[in-house]
Structure formats: C-alpha cells, structure tokens
Amino acid sequence: MRPTPEVLEDIRELAAHVTVVLFSNQSVERIEELFQPLLGVESVWFAAESGYRYRTDCTWRKLISLADKVWFNSVSEAMRTYTDNVDGATVEESESTLVFNFKNAEEEHGSMVVGELFS
C-alpha cells in the first residue's frame, strides 16, 4: 500500500524532532519506490526484508552476511509443491527469506498447509 503524500509529510515532520525507523518486510527496491521522497532525510532510517537490509544514511547494509544459500533451493522446492496444490498461494523469495503467501487462497486450506510446513 502506497503512503499518501500526507503520511509522507507527517513522517518528515516527526523526523524533524526524533529519529524515525520505518521497518518493513518489503524489498529494498519496494521501500525506495514507496518512500523515495524521504530517502534523503537524515533522521529517517529504513529496514527492509524484516531488518536483514537497513539504511541509516545513503547506503543500504546487510545486518548479517548469509553463508551460501543452498537451503533456499530445497525449501523453495518444497514450498512450491504446496503452492501447486493450493489455489491462490505463492512463494515470495527475497534476498534473505522465503514466504509461503496464502492471502489469496481459501483460508482454511492455506492454514492447514502452513501447519504442515511447520511440522
């Protein structure tokens, strides 16, 4: 959801008094797209991908360095098997995470699959 110009201005005004940290599960690219007018504001910091990437000045940094991500392929493959069986479900992949998204699926079926993924 795109912030309105009023919300962006409210954040800018708040940042004149305190440091504001905008924390999101979205990608760096999406954060930059949504909050472009605030990227140059010194007291507005950003955290993308649930904190894996962060920006306190003009440079994005990684919270930690992930070792080789061989686990991504096997976990992604398992999740995609479930998405094939749940209409509306998707697997969202970012630099640091895989998310089984079933917000567009039938709720009961999606919840059941999430339970299976956790076991």
Tell me: the pLDDT tens digits for 34-58?
999 999 999 999 999 988 999 999 9
How sure is the predictor about 20, in pLDDT bands with cuts at 50, 70 and 90? very high
Q: Is the pTM of this model over 0.85?
A: no
Token readout for 48 is 């993308």
Cβ neighbours around 81 below 10 Å, total: 11
Bridge-based pairing of strands 44-48 and 90-93 is unpaired
Tell me: the pLDDT tens digits for 54-89?
999 999 999 877 666 677 888 888 888 888 888 888
* Amino acid occupying residue 99: V
